[in-house]
Amino acid sequence: MNSVRIKITFQALVWLLLIQPYSTKTVEPSWYQTYFNKLDLACYTNHCSLIHTAQKIRGSALVAYYRSTHKKVNLDKAICLVKSKLQEFEPWLKSVEQDALIAIKEKYHMTDDIWHKYLAETEHVKNGYKKGLLHNHPDATHDPSIPADILKILTALLHHNGINPKSLTIKMVTDQNQINENPNTMALVQSFITPITKENPTIDPTYIPASIEIFPHINNQSSIEKVSFYAHEIEHLVQQHSLTILILEEYLNHYYGVKPEVFAQTAEYHKLSQIHEAQAEIFSAIKNPKIAYCLTALRKKYHYPNHLYQEHFYHLSTINMLWKVHAWLEFFHNNGLIKKRNEWVTKIKDCCNSLKSLLIKS
C-alpha cells in the first residue's frame, strides 16, 4: 500500500514539474532555464536542444492535463486558457520597456514636464505614422531587383500586419561598404522623422515613408529563416520602435545636449534596444503559430549577439509549444463536437423513424 502511495506521489510531483509554470505566470523562467543561464554560451545550441525537448514533454503533459480535466465539448474553455497564456507576454514586455524608459529619464534627470511632452509627442507622431502605413505613398518605391520569393514573403507579412506594402520603400542593399559593415544583417527597417529645431520645436507627425533594406546574405537562408528575419523587422515597424528611440534622441539632444552617438553607447540605451529586439520576435510569435515555429527554429540554432540568448529562446519555445497545445485542443474539441452532432443526428433520425412507424400503424 505504501509503495502505491509513493508511486502516486512521485507521479503527482513529476506532473507538477512538467506543467510548471502554468500554475503561476507563463513568462516566469522554469527551474532548468535558471540552470542553463549559469552555463557557458559556447553550449548555446546544446542548451536550446535540451530546452526544446523539455518543451515537447511539457506540451504533451499540458494536452493530457486539459484532456483529463475538461470534457471534449468543454475544451473551448481550455483553448481560451491557452490563448490567455499567450497574451501574458505582451503586457510583461511592455512593462519592461516602460521601466527601461524611466531609467533613461532618471539617468539624464529629465524634468516631468519635458518627459510628459516627450511621451505625448511620441504618441502623436506614432498615430500619424500608423495612418500613413495604411495608404499608398507617392515617394515609396520597390526595387525591381528584389527576388520574387522575397517580395512574396514580405508582402504577405505586411498584409498580415495591416500594413500597405506601397506605403514604404523596399530595396536591396548594393553598397559594398554597408554590406561589409553588417555581415550578420539580413534585413533592416528604418524610419525617418523631421528633427527638432529652434524654428520647429515639435516633430511633424506627417508620415515619411519607412524603408525595408534587404541584404544579399538573405539569399543563402532557408525559407524558415527568411520568414523569421522579415517577421522580426516588420514587427519593429508595427511597434514603431525606431520612433521611440529617434524622438527620445531628439529630446535628449535638444534639451540636454546629449548627442545620439553618445546616448547609443550607454547601458540604458542597450537595455532598451534588447527589449525592442525581444518584442520584435515575441510579439510576432504570439500573433501567428507559423511565425512562432520559424522563430523558434531560428533561435534554436543562433543567438542574437549582445541581445538575445537562452532566456529569449525559452520564451519563444514556450509560445511555440502553447500554439501546438492550442492546435491539439482544437482538433480534439472539433472532433468531439462532430461526434456529439452525429449522436444527436442519430437520435433525431431514430425519433423520426419511430414517429413514422407509429403513423403507419395508425
Closest CA to 313 of 93, 48, 59: 48
Amino acid at 279: Q
* Tens-digit pLDDT string for the chain (362 aa): 455 555 444 444 444 455 454 444 667 666 556 666 666 667 888 889 988 988 998 898 888 888 888 887 788 898 999 999 999 999 999 999 999 999 999 999 999 999 999 999 999 999 999 999 999 999 999 999 998 889 999 999 999 999 999 999 999 999 999 988 888 889 999 999 999 888 888 999 999 999 999 999 888 889 999 999 999 999 999 999 999 999 999 999 999 999 999 999 999 999 999 999 999 999 999 999 999 999 999 999 998 888 888 889 999 999 999 999 999 998 888 876 555 555 554 655 565 566 556 556 55
Q: d(Cα 35, Cα 31) in Å, to the nearest integer?
A: 7
Report the distance separating Cα 62 and Cα 17, nearest Å.
11
At residue 38, the pLDDT reads 60
Query: What pLDDT sits at residue 242?
Result: 96
Predicted confidence at residue 198, as pLDDT, reads: 81
pLDDT for res 21: 44
Full-model pTM: 0.83
